[in-house]
Structures are given as structure tokens and as C-alpha cells.
Amino acid sequence: MDLVGKHIVLGLTGGIACYKAAEFCRALIKEGATVQVVMTEAAAQFITPVTMQALSNRPVYASQWDAREPNNMAHINLSREADAIVIAPCSADFVAKLLHGRADDLLSLMCLARPLESVPLLVAPAMNREMWAHPATQRNMAQLHADGATVFDVGSGEQACGETGDGRMLEPAELLHDVVAFFQAKVLAGKRVLISAGPTFEPMDPVRGVTNLSSGKMGFALARAAREAGADVTLVAGPVGLPSPRGVHRVDVISAQDMFEACQSQVSHADIFIACAAVADWRVDVPTQQKIKKDASGATPSFQFVENPDILASIAQSERAQSGALYCVGFAAESNDLLAHATAKRLRKNVPLLVGNLGPATFGKDDNALLLVDAQGSKEIPRQSKRALSRLLVAEIANRITQPRSF
């Protein structure tokens, strides 16, 4: 629950995307936030205040003259209580209001009266594609961003009017992700991070191969955490069935050789390389061109294996890594003697930080426990969700690239 302790004022303006605001409100609450809904008169034409009250478990505010407030200053009281004001959907008309400082209803008045230094404004635009593309709207969006508001992206696709294009409000799950990310410390702002994740698959014939039980969940969680921390993230992913984290550039690969080539092509642009993938150490030298068939003799096929390229060692030995321009982090998935194996691997790969975990205890699971090993010693991070671990690890890396640190 990433929003525990956060109080969100959710503003709704006139637009058919108000139906998404209902699910978004519920998602915020499930993530631990408290939500106070404020609606414009136009928004109430698309969804009722009763619906939003039932979902938020709070009375909905719509008028600046609301007598429920003892001082009749809802615009002051509501804004002072908020950790953020999120307007979703935000219509083209309301964007123009925000830009020019108009305050002719409760929501716009509250946005104008909010303390700029402590109550951020997050805007989720929603409008027809022509309205979105209009130069006036684009100028308004640029100025709104320059004024300090966080303007979320828009989606693209079919619109309620029957047209297709940019301008749709993001889906509730996407908005939730962006709100959660907003509250994360931007400790990697301006950094470029390359992450490998998941297993590799080494073919034996056209239908069979050698692989492992890695799900890729840790690497994908790291990609999300690095992106939340402000980094530009590229994720090189083996064959997994996971959705791409928002805002992350993804490169799909199959074999260890594919992953080696993809990482080599991307790493020259990176400041940090995190080798989280469970890469196969060996591959079949010459896979057969046809499926290997059983026969009546009971004979078993034999294969000649060759060693795969060592992705982490190769990158860690590069000139950029040796000069300190590239910070490398390795992972070790072991089955026993974790500290001994992780320590040996760190020295063998020549990386400043090695993250150890027990493969059988983590593969496919949503949680994990980590052992951090560096030149000064080791530190255990107890079992918790991979998302929480990833944020802790990102913070560790951020600290280490700004100043030397030991356990």
C-alpha cells in the first residue's frame, strides 16, 4: 500500500472520462490513501456525487458556498489538508482556467489558493483529439508545466465521440502508477539505467531448450523503482509474461547470446548497469534443425554444451566501468552457502556491489530476501515484497554513486 498516510483531493471536471474517476478513486483508497472528492458542476452531468461519495466514504464538495464548513472557506480548508490535488479528468476548459488563475468555482478556487510549496497539483488531461492537438491547448499545457504543475500523459485510441487519436485520459491503473511514482524520491534523476531481467532460453531443437525458473519479477520491479526514482530506464528482458513497467524502454530477447548483444548495444548510454537476469551458463553447441524424436531403441540423445558469454564480467571489465563512469551491480541466485558464493562472485566479476539471493526461495514469488555484498562486508535485507526491496536497492545504489559507503 504505497499511499498509506497520503490524503488526496481528487478533482473531477466535465468530461465522459469521469466514469474512469470512479475506479481511480477506488484504486487510490485500496493503495492506502484517503480521498476527498471535489466536483465541478459540469462533472456532475457525467457522474453523480452520490457515486463518488459512496466510493470515497466522504461527502463530496461542489460549491464554494458549502455551509458545512464553519468558516465557509472550503477552498482553504480542503487544500490545506491535502498531500496533493489530482484533477482527473481535467478538461481543456479547466486547463485554461488553471493557466489564467480563474477561480469561479470551488475546484479552480482551491487550486489557486493551495500552498504552492507544500500541495502539488497533478493534472490528467482528457479531451477530444482535435482539442488536444490545438495550439492553444498545447501552449496551455506547456505553461501549466512551467508553472510547477505535474501534467500526466494522455492515452491514444478510440474516443467517446467516435474519433480515434490522442487525448484520452489515462486508464485508472496507469494514473495510480503515476501518482505513486510522483511521491517517490527522485534519487536517480538524470541517470540512465540498464537492467537485465528474467531467464534465458537455450534451444536444443525447435521446440525444446534449457532454461530456469526465474520469473523476471525482481528485474521488472527494479526497472519500475529506477523509473520512479527519476531515471531513464532500459530493460533487457528474457522470455517472461510480465507487462512492461510504465515509462520503461523494453528490449525482448530469448537466448544468453541475444541478451549479451542487447546489453552491449545499450550499455554505452548507461550510468548504471544492474545484471538481475538469471542467464544460462551454457548452451547447446549445435541445436538440431528438427524436433528430436524418441524411437523404439530407447536411446537418449547427447549434446555438446559450450559456455555462454559472461555479460556482467564483460561489462564490468569495460573501460567505462573501470573508470567509474559506469556503476555495475551483479546478482547471484544460489541454492546454498549464499554469503560465500556471493562474495566469491563479486570478486570474480569485479563489481562494487553484488546482490545475493536463494533461487529456490524467490523464483516466481512476489517477495524475496537479499544479501548485499561489497568490499567492506555484507548486509542482510529481510524478506519483503520485491517492489519494496527494489526501492531499497535503488536507494542504496543512489547513495553509492554519490559518495563512498560501507556497511
Please list the residues that pair with 173 across neighbouring strands: none
Residues 6+ apart with CB under 8 A from 352: 327, 328, 329, 374, 375, 400
Instruction: Read off the C-alpha cell for 216.
Output: 523476471
Instruction: Read off the C-alpha cell for 194.
Output: 540498464
Q: Please name which of 336, 330, 359, 342 lies closest in space to residue 213, comparing C-alpha atoms.
A: 359
Instruction: Read off the C-alpha cell for 2.
Output: 504505497
The b/e string for 318-340 (b: 16+ C-beta within 10 A; e otherwise) is bebbeeeebbbbbbbbbeeebee
CA atoms within 13 A on the CB side of 387: 10
Choosing from 18, 25, 90, 161, the catalytic residue is: 161
CA distances from 287 to 210, 211, 281 (A): 11, 14, 16
9 close to 36: Cβ distance less than 8 angstroms: yes
Handedness of CA 177, 178, 179, 185 (dihedral sign): positive
Q: Please name which of 179, 189, 174 lies closest in space to residue 229, comparing C-alpha atoms.
A: 189
Has 161 been annotated as catalytic?
yes
Looking at the annotation, which residues are catalytic? 161
